Chain A
Amino acid sequence: DSGVTQTPKHLITATGQRVTLRCSPRSGDLSVYWYQQSLDQGLQFLIQYYNGEERAKGNILERFSAQQFPDLHSELNLSSLELGDSALYFCASSPAGATNEQFFGPGTRLTVL
């Protein structure tokens, strides 16, 4: 158990809908990262937050947005969902100023029908 929690574990929804994925980092970690992993694909970096502020952005679609709240939990919002958005979404956290080691949550499996 990495100490990072993600909810929900599974999510099934329809095209055009909007969903919110939630992540709670390890106690004391200030950085949160979001990744998308499609079937048999690598980890695609989406976005990083550090202590509430956006720090780095990857290949995140405009239909996707995220935020980190004062209690450091983070939410990833996916809207106007398409079939191709079906994937595993991982959240990871790391201690302040150290991104050498990231601790990954168990992931949310999103299925868009």
Chain B
Amino acid sequence: GQSLEQPSEVTAVEGAIVQINCTYQTSGFYGLSWYQQHDGGAPTFLSYNALDGLEETGRFSSFLSRSDSYGYLLLQELQMKDSASYFCAVRGGGYQKVTFGTGTKLQVIP
């Protein structure tokens, strides 16, 4: 089956940089996605990595190392509104099967 590990909570200061790690186990890996979810809201897509390397989208970047079964989400110039839960999700174990991690709750403090 598929499994993912990510830290349960992270605290960072406004304006700083934070990295949220995700390790996964899956058969037939296709890609790793990241989602953001504010309290009471729906998850929203942030990024997707299918190949090794860094993908940058504004203040957010996502990295993947397939050989290490590892990825991370990098948030720069943190803002208070970035306080939310962040989920990694692996696509694998079947072409269209996606498994979500348990989420990392990010708290941004002044």
Contact = CB atoms under 8 A, between A and B. Distances in A.
Interface string B21-57: 0000000000101000000011111001010000000
A101 B103 CA distance: 17
Interface string B87-110: 100010010111111110000000
Contacts of A33: 98
Interface in A30-49: 31, 33, 35, 41-45, 48
Contacts, number: 54
A41 B33 CA distance: 18
In this complex, the member of B42, B96, B97, B103 whose beta carbon has the largest number of chain A beta carbons within 10 angstroms is B42
B27 to A, nearest CB: 14
Interface size class, chain B:
20 to 34
Interface stretch (A16-24, A70-78, A104-112): A104-112
Interface string A75-104: 000000000000000101000000111111
Contacts of B96: 31, 48, 50, 55-56, 99
Interface of A: 2, 31, 33, 35, 41-45, 48, 50, 55-56, 58, 90, 92, 99-107
Contact of A42 (B42, B44, B101): B101
A45 B45 CA distance: 16
Interface of B: 31, 33, 41-45, 48, 50, 87, 91, 94, 96-103
B42 A100 contact: no
A43 B103 CA distance: 9
Contact of B42 (A45, A99, A101, A107): A107
Contact of A101 (B41, B48, B97, B102): B48
A43 B87 contact: yes
A103 B48 CA distance: 13
